């Protein structure tokens, strides 16, 4: 009898493809303020809460496209938006409510990194 599949666990690492890993690593560290962990040839690693981000060069044509959208949870979206804009982040949208319940509002604001990948700030604001 086969063992029961335990299911997938938490995400440990996300790869983000980049045309210029060195430029992207500088942007993620200095502009976005992410904690740099280490690098390797054509790779750079950052800590994002409990998930590690790996910036990697494009290894094959089928991987030469933007990453999935990552949503970074922030405690105050207006303050985070203002600080990142001051640092030169190119925002696609201003902070705005996308969903409301009786107890919470979900706020988002999306932006491009220096590689044209789309990311978003996310605040779950209690009413």
The secondary structure of 61-85 as a DSSP string is: GGG-SPPPPEEEE-S-HHHHHHHHH
pLDDT at 114: 92
Answer yes or no: are the C-beta atoms of 58 and 64 closer than 8 Å.
yes
Q: What fold does the segment set 66-127 form as a domain?
A: 2,3-Dihydroxybiphenyl 1,2-Dioxygenase; domain 1 (3.10.180)
Tens digit of each residue's pLDDT, the chain (127 residues): 566 767 767 889 999 999 999 999 999 999 999 999 999 999 999 999 999 999 999 888 887 887 788 999 999 999 999 999 999 999 999 999 999 999 999 999 999 999 888 999 999 999 8
Q: What CATH superfamily classification does 12-65 receive? A: 2,3-Dihydroxybiphenyl 1,2-Dioxygenase, domain 1 (3.10.180.10)
pLDDT at 64: 82
pLDDT at 66: 79
Looking from the CA of 121 toward its CB, the CA atoms found within 13 Å total: 27
pLDDT at 72: 94
Element (H, E) at 23: helix 21-26
Answer yes or no: are the C-beta atoms of 72 and 121 closer than 8 Å.
yes
């Amino acid at each position: 009898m086969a063992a029961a599949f335990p299911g997938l666990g938490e995400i440990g690492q996300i790869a983000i493809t980049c045309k210029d890993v060195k430029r992207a690593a500088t942007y993620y560290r200095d502009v976005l303020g992410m904690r740099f962990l280490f690098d390797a040839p054509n790779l750079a690693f950052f800590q994002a809460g409990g998930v590690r981000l790996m910036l990697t060069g494009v290894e094959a044509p089928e991987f030469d496209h933007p990453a999935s959208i990552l949503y970074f949870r922030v405690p105050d979206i207006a303050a985070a938006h203002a600080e990142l804009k001051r640092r030169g982040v190119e925002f696609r949208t201003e902070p705005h409510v996308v969903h409301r319940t009786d107890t919470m509002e979900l706020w988002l604001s999306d932006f491009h990194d220096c590689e044209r990948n789309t990311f978003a700030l996310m605040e779950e604001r209690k009413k």
